[in-house]
Amino acid sequence: MWALLLGSITSVIQFFLGYFISPGGFGFSRILFGFVDIVCVPVLVPILLYLIILPFKGSSEVNFANFALLWLIPVAGFRALTWSSTNDPILLVITPLLWTALAVGISFFISLMINNLRWYIIIVSILSILILPAAASLTYWAFFVQQTMLGFILLLAAHIPFCISIAFDARHH
């Protein structure tokens, strides 16, 4: 319930404030625009919020990925309405795939750190949490500048933690 309510508030705020970074350019400004306004921040905000409320929540089966994905439902609905006028497959297809990969991948590494407090798992998880949003932003940029092969390679790389998480969940159930 909180995820849907806060996601709706996020959509309303985005409607009134618009983009935080100017979407022009093909270089670093486009990567930064993709990170902040398109791909990463919409996923990182609910995960960070969930980390903050984690000590205060009761016993619940909701995890990081579910919270982030529920949060993204109203955000995705709002973005689909605004992006549909451009008919841009990067925004309408690639971005939701990247949101899912980030939400599940980052959640997987956070849960891995929480459940396994070994130093090498923590280091690999922290590095992965830092690399995954960078790979997602670079994926958006690669498709935008029409580097399609690089875009698909980065898209597949961004989905590796997603696939590992699914494999671990299937193995444990």
pLDDT digits (tens, 9 = 90+) for 76-126: 888 888 777 777 778 888 999 999 999 999 999 998 988 888 999 999 999
CA dihedral 168, 75, 54, 161 (to 10 degrees): 20
Q: What's the distance, CA 64 to chain centroid?
A: 11
pTM: 0.85
